[in-house]
Amino acid sequence: MKKIGVLTSGGDAPGMNACIRAVVRCGVSHKLEVVGIRQGYRGILEEDFIKLGNRSVANIIHRGGTILETARCEEMKTREGIRKANEILQREGIEGLITIGGDGTLRGATALAEAKNVKVISIPSTIDNDVYGTDYTVGFDTAINTALDAIDKIRDTAESLPRPFFIEVMGRNRGFIALEVGIAGGAEDILIPEVETKIEQLCLDIERSFKRGKKSCIVIVAEGDEAGGAFSIAQQVWERLKLEYRICVLGHVQRGGSPTARDRVLASKLGAAAVDALVNGMAGYMVGELKGEIAFTPLRETWEKRKELDSNLLQLVKVLAG
C-alpha cells in the first residue's frame, strides 16, 4: 500500500483533529502518501482532495471541529453514489480509506468496504457514544464535561432561588450523554429514550425532593426522550404542580471546544491503530477500544447491533438522587 485517504463525516466531535493528526503522522512513518478528503463523502464525489504531511497537522491536536470539515451526503446512500465514489478513489490511486465519524459514516464505510475496491477502516467519533464495538467514541468525554460544567453553574443559581430546572442535552436516539452527565452532575431525575418517562412519577419525585428540604431540583432530559424535549416535559409538569420552572437547552455547545485529554489520547490511539491495520492488510473493520484494549469490529455489526447502556448506572440514578 502506497496511498491512503482520510475523511471526517457526519456530526463533528471534539478530538477529530487529534485523530487526523495521528492518521497522518503514523501514515508518514509507514512511508505512505496521505490524502485528506474535505467535507466527508461529498469530498470524494467532488474530488476535493488535499495532500497531508507532518506539518499539515501541526498544532491541531487541541482544536475542536475538524480541519477537513464535514458534511452529510445523501448521494452516498445510493448504489450509483457508491459506484462513483469507488471509481474516483481508484482513479486517484487511493488504496486505503480511513473514515472518522458516527453511525451514518459507518454505514457509508460499510457500503464502500463491501464493494471491495478499496480497503476501509473506520474510527468511531461522535459525541453520542452510541456505536457498538467500543466503550467510548472520540468526542464523548469532551461533550459530557462541557455539559457538566454548564450544569454545575446552573445548580448554583437553582439553589439561590428554588425551582426545578430542566436541562436538555443532546441524544436524539440514545441517552448516553444524559445518563453520564446526570450521574456526574447529581441530577434528581434523568429522562432518556431507552426508559419510558412517566410524568406523574416525575412530578412526585420533584415534590418529594423539595419536601425533603432540597434547595434545587435538576432534571436532565435527552432531546430524544419519547415524552418530548425539555419544553414539552416542563409544561406537563407545570400543568400538574404549578411550579415555576426554568429550561436550559445546551444544544451545539456540546459539540465544540478543546478536546479533553481522554479524547485526545483515545483519538491518537485509534488513529494509529487504523493505519497499522491497513498496512497489515486488514479491511472492513472499525477500530475501537474495549476494556482498555484495541478491538476490531466488522463494520456492519457497528450499526446493526445495539450498544447497551450501563445498567448499573441506570439503577444508581434514584439511589443517588436521595
The CA radius of gyration of the chain, in Å to the nearest whole number, is: 22
Same-domain pairing of 63 and 193: no
Flag whether 317 is in a domain.
no
The Cα–Cα gap between 222 and 191 comes to 6
Same-domain pairing of 166 and 113: no
Same-domain pairing of 103 and 248: no
User: pLDDT tens per residue, the chain (322 residues)?
Assistant: 999 999 999 999 999 999 999 999 999 999 999 999 999 999 999 999 999 999 999 999 999 999 999 988 888 889 999 999 999 999 999 999 999 999 999 999 999 999 988 999 999 999 999 999 999 999 999 999 999 999 999 988 888 877 889 999 998 889 999 999 999 999 989 999 999 899 999 999 888 888 887 777 899 999 988 787 899 999 999 999 888 899 999 989 999 999 999 999 999 999 999 999 999 999 999 999 999 999 999 999 999 999 999 888 888 887 887 6
Same-domain pairing of 176 and 263: no
Same-domain pairing of 134 and 18: yes
Flag whether 85 is in a domain.
yes
Same-domain pairing of 82 and 128: yes
Same-domain pairing of 95 and 242: no
Same-domain pairing of 89 and 194: no
Same-domain pairing of 161 and 281: no
Catalytic residue among 128, 141, 225, 263: 128
Domain count for the chain, please give it. Answer: 2
Residue with cell 508518514: 28
Q: Give the domain CATH number at 67.
A: 3.40.50.450
In this structure, are residues 248 and 204 in contact, taking their beta carbons and an 8 Å threshold?
A: no
Same-domain pairing of 102 and 131: yes
Residues 6+ apart with CB under 8 A from 57: 17, 20, 21, 24, 25, 67
Same-domain pairing of 159 and 190: yes
Flag whether 206 is in a domain.
yes
225 is catalytic: no
Flag whether 71 is in a domain.
yes
Flag whether 321 is in a domain.
no
Q: Give the domain CATH number at 158.
A: 3.40.50.460
Flag whether 309 is in a domain.
no
Flag whether 83 is in a domain.
yes
Helices assigned H by DSSP within 125-259: 140-160, 176-184, 199-211, 230-241
| Residue range(s) defining the domain that contains residue 184 | 142-256
Backbone angles phi, psi at 171, to 5 degrees: 140, 70
Flag whether 310 is in a domain.
no
Same-domain pairing of 168 and 48: no
